[in-house]
Structure 1
């Protein structure tokens, strides 16, 4: 069950009266163990802790029960009872959404991370993501797609205004899947982050369908122990079957209803400065020194200009620059090393994973309940993709599991509002067998 709705997961805007609506509700837990059970569900979305525990343990009965429940839940656009009018009550938002308000250890306080979040819809999903990754010593740049509904943008701006270390990108673009605009969105945020003068060590990028599976402390320890000032840009020399992306010129078609990238017949010349192109993930962990290099180096600027009419340039730009031997924190000989994202690719079914328990979109698994055990055992920092509308209990369970792990690792006195507390409206009869 989402924190944005009493009967359904979601968010509404009181547009007619100029009111921004944040409807919320706490998660439910009765604190019992992980026995196998058959719940008699009175309200899908309200669930006992045992359901999530069973799913994480890979119990076969639990996913089928959950999937039946999820099928009856509409996408997260439901109603809720609380309207917060201008001025926004930030103290209430911070408390009700369970934001963690101080560093949880000295190690975390002394190692700040920067985040770039590129979003375009699904406010409830965004709130789950930002409350999970938020720490007061970090800094967050949010890029909102220029095509996003204005009500959505206003709501995100309202939430961001409650935090000194969270802001909206000063430049917004209409993001097109596989287009240059996706790369430009990250660069816009990088410019803002550098200008902020915040003392961050690494920047990581996220999209609206990501969720963390490693805590802030675990991310820091991974970056310090495994990489120690090096950039994470998994990838290899551009393989032949990917060369179509940079062989001809591509253009973006931007429209509110449908946007896409399409090829032209114009052939492209070779990359500038005899740079060898690499192909890899669009997700990264980059040092502040490397970001400054990207924004100022002549080769980086020329490669950026050359990449403007390529297909999915974010999958070659970062990894290519990070293979330059003189780039700060470069990894010239690296290949696919780096646990950035847990992704179940369709063509890797049977090898790196046993299958997708949700459904595939562009050959990437949108996780279902049966994927929870695999996710919690993954060595990666984040996971992609999630669909809160179709599989709400996946994120509800993962969110609760994640928060409990965060609090267990804390080395400070815990605040009561950091916990997802039991909801008074809990209404589920359980039969234990």
Structure 2
């Protein structure tokens, strides 16, 4: 090797060493800064047990840094509510520790009661999040628990319900099969119970356990009063050709050893009773009390219910078809899909479906915190301390009943 080659080699080695040293210093400073930032995050905030900046970024449609997301997942992880379900505790403590609102928040809301039908079968934590979001003492709530649900789940729900005079379990439970008649029957069962309660509710709204409200109770009432007073909200259209198999063939439910489904037979169905035109839409609704009483007593409603027993997903045609008999039809409620927080809070709809807090805990917790703050900001009465979610104890979500 000549002197020139040796000089070149030495120069390149020197360059390489310098690059390595500079890279090491940069990476060390970067990780040190990130570590310092993570350690400086507050334990609690208005949005939950994680940095408030993270929720703000999510509501603005910005993505969060991976390390912050990981940090939050660790912080907000909470024990299952069912873990403490057997611990003896009085109802007053349960209501306060779970942050249930215990008084009407305005005169308008106090004079306009809503009824809710909630069908559930799993995920106690999500059910409690939904219930406490929509709960107010002037409303009434019928809870239908799938008969196939585990006994410990039923016991947990019953323990919570026992703490409230205006919440009850449906007097008759169904083995609910997805897209089967049993899903529709579950709502009918609750309606039969609701018409006999003392509370003179104005409208009934049906939900499943993985729904969550976008609008507050006050906003829902004002929405109903301003646009749809004495009318039903049941979106739908004339049954499309590609959906006709749902009502032209006879279907049966299969339930055995934890497996359940709906399957078609080779039998053709008769035409709908009373020459009714079948409409197709969503299974979700907001119905007047008068319409519910009509559903339970009118011969056409009863005959259509009987005819629908062997159809596919009858809850998607039953309500909208009956509503056409009353001449009221609206296509503006219920959005399907998790979406992102920015899209959800900007949506004009009343509720969104569906949420899975075990899969996306950050989305659910941020939305829940924001929703409660919005509710309290709209309140026209003095606020109770336990209505706020901010607590020093990270595990205040335990259900100690």
Shorter-chain TM-score: which interval?
A: 0.7 to 0.9
Question: Taking structure 1 as reference, are residues 111 and 83 closer, same or farther at Cα in structure 2, changes over 3 Å only?
Answer: closer
CA drift at 1:423: 2.6
Question: Taking structure 1 as reference, are residues 385 and 38 closer, same or farther at Cα in structure 2, changes over 3 Å only?
Answer: farther
* Deviation sequence 1:349-388 (CA, Å, 0-9, x none): xxxxxxxxxxxxxxxx445xxx011000001100001111
* Aligned-partner Cα distance in 2 for 1:75–1:404: 21
* Deviation sequence 1:222-274 (CA, Å, 0-9, x none): 01101011000000111101101001000000134221000000000100000
* Aligned-partner Cα distance in 2 for 1:174–1:214: 31
Aligned residues of 1:190 and 1:291 also touching (Cα < 8 A): yes
1:93 aligns with 94
SS in 2 for 1:100: coil
1:411 aligns with 380
Question: Taking structure 1 as reference, are residues 268 and 81 closer, same or farther at Cα in structure 2, changes over 3 Å only?
Answer: closer
Aligned residues of 1:117 and 1:142 also touching (Cα < 8 A): yes
* Aligned-partner Cα distance in 2 for 1:195–1:163: 17
CA drift at 1:70: 7.6
Q: 308, 314, 334: which one pairs with 1:341?
A: 334
* Aligned-partner Cα distance in 2 for 1:115–1:315: 18
* Aligned-partner Cα distance in 1 for 2:71–2:178: 32
> How does the TM-score come out when normalised to structure 2?
0.83
1:52 aligns with 55
Name the larger-Rg structure. 2
> Within 5 Å, which residues of 2 pair with 1:153-172?
153-172=154-173
Number of residues of Structure 1 aligned to a counterpart in Structure 2: 356
SS in 1 for 2:341: helix
2:103 counterpart of 1:134: no
SS in 2 for 1:282: coil
* Aligned-partner Cα distance in 2 for 1:366–1:389: 13
CA drift at 1:56: 0.4
2:32 aligns with none
2:315 counterpart of 1:308: no
Aligned residues of 1:249 and 1:267 also touching (Cα < 8 A): yes
Aligned residues of 2:85 and 2:156 also touching (Cα < 8 A): no
* Aligned-partner Cα distance in 1 for 2:42–2:53: 16
* Aligned-partner Cα distance in 1 for 2:97–2:76: 24
CA drift at 1:287: 0.3
* Aligned-partner Cα distance in 1 for 2:318–2:167: 26
SS in 2 for 1:412: coil
Aligned residues of 1:98 and 1:420 also touching (Cα < 8 A): yes
Segments ≥4 residues shifted beyond 4 Å: 37-43, 64-84
Q: Which runs of 5+ in 2 are unaligned?
A: 1-35, 396-401
Question: Taking structure 1 as reference, are residues 265 and 290 closer, same or farther at Cα in structure 2, changes over 3 Å only?
Answer: same
CA drift at 1:192: 0.2
More helix per residue: 2
2:193 counterpart of 1:192: yes
Q: Which runs of 5+ in 1 are unaligned?
A: 1-36, 344-364, 427-433
2:355 counterpart of 1:386: yes
* Aligned-partner Cα distance in 2 for 1:148–1:308: 23
2:375 counterpart of 1:374: no
> How does the TM-score come out when normalised to structure 1?
0.77
- Kindly report the root-mean-square deviation, in angstroms, between the aligned alpha carbons of the 2 structures: 2.5
2:390 counterpart of 1:397: no
1:291 aligns with 292
